[in-house]
Structure 1
Amino acid sequence: MRQYDVQIKETKDLQKIICNKCGKEIIISKGVPQEDYLEVEKRWGYQSNKDNQVDCFDLCEDCYDDFVKGFKIKI
């Protein structure tokens, strides 16, 4: 006798990426973004006012460049 653990696997196909700052859509072809972008995911810790909150956003390359221009200490 054989017993199998049957699990239904959920698949998620990436449909689109939209820049959170300017709204530009990054084209996806066969599940692969056709240009680079910045993906950020931050889980806030106990020492913050956002304890365990998770923030996620994406920036296109132009918005990333604009973002880092504002840094006091350059990267």
Structure 2
Amino acid sequence: MRKYNKNTNELEAAVCNCCGKSMKIQNGMLLEGICSVDTTWGYFSGKDLEKHEFDLCEECYDRITASFAVPPKISEDMEG
């Protein structure tokens, strides 16, 4: 989860929800990879309209996605 300064809205802390690892932050900038999930469940789920948010460090992301029956689609992001 991420924590922001209420006055400046600058990122103060980020923690992996899976393993509890504190992420490196300098001057409000995250200095390592993080997977952020932000989803709102629909009407036909058991979590109608609940919003779920969490962050994963790169190691936890790799461990979790390695167990997927269908791997995530991976492509290169071409910033333009």
**Normalised TM-score (structure 2):** 0.76
**Cα distance in structure 2, aligned partners of 1:34 and 1:74:** 26
Equivalenced residues, count: 66
Which residues of structure 1 form unaligned runs of 5+?
Answer: 1-9
Deviations 1:17-61 (A, max 9, x none): 000111110011111101011000010111111111000000000
Q: CA deviation at 1:74?
A: 2.4
3-state SS, counterpart of residue 67 of structure 1: helix
> Alpha carbon RMSD of aligned pairs, Å?
1.1
* Alignment counterpart, residue 60 of structure 1, candidates 44, 57, 62: 57
Flag the structure with larger Rg: 1
**1:4 maps to which residue?**
none
- Taking structure 1 as the reference length, the TM-score comes to 0.81
Structure 1 runs (4+) greater than 3 angstroms displaced? none
- What runs of 5+ residues in structure 2 fail to find an aligned partner? 1-6, 73-80
